[in-house]
Amino acid sequence: MRNETQVKKSGFEPKILAFCCNWCSYAGADLAGTSRIQYAPNVRVIRVMCSGRIDPTFILRAFQVGVDGVLILGCHPGDCHYIDGNYKTARRIHMLKKMLSQLGIEDDRLRLDWVSAAEGKRFASIINDMTERIRALGPFVR
């Protein structure tokens, strides 16, 4: 994990983890690439088959190891490749957010959003927006 002097010296560059589902949001991220849409280089993507695969403990572990923000990107409601996995994700993230607020973790550090395979632009703007929000919050301190 970066120490404080490093952060001060180089200016704070948030490290953000994004979980993307194989069918919509990961394809949307690829489309941003094929369309050469430029966005903040702060996100690292982990591909899963469905956003429904994301166990809340994955997110907690990310914060534990010092990730500054976590994005969960799935298919739009109704468009899930696995019928309704994204609704299950939405319920889990809703619960997890309550827990995070009790732990004193800012709401903006975890974001659930939807990106279709056709939304390269939307993917890029979510990444930029998230990066700016986390930059404003500052590094996540355990």
Enumerate binding residues for other proteins (CB under 8 A): 1-2, 15, 17, 22-24, 26-27, 29-30, 32-34, 36-39, 41, 44-50, 52-58, 61-62, 65-67, 78-85, 88, 92, 116-119, 124
81 or 133: CB nearest other proteins: 81
116 or 134: CB nearest other proteins: 116
Rounded Cα–Cα distance for residues 72 and 54 (Å):
8
**Contacts for 99-104: CB closer than 8 Å, 24+ residues apart:** 99/56
Min separation Cβ 44 and other proteins, Å: 5
Min separation Cβ 2 and other proteins, Å: 8
Min separation Cβ 62 and other proteins, Å: 5
Min separation Cβ 107 and other proteins, Å: 21
47 or 94: CB nearest other proteins: 47
SS3 5: helix
79 or 107: CB nearest other proteins: 79
Rounded Cα–Cα distance for residues 134 and 31 (Å):
24
Rounded Cα–Cα distance for residues 14 and 137 (Å):
10
Q: Read off the tokens for 44.
A: 């690292």
Rounded Cα–Cα distance for residues 60 and 52 (Å):
16
Which residue do the tokens 């949001």 mark? 25
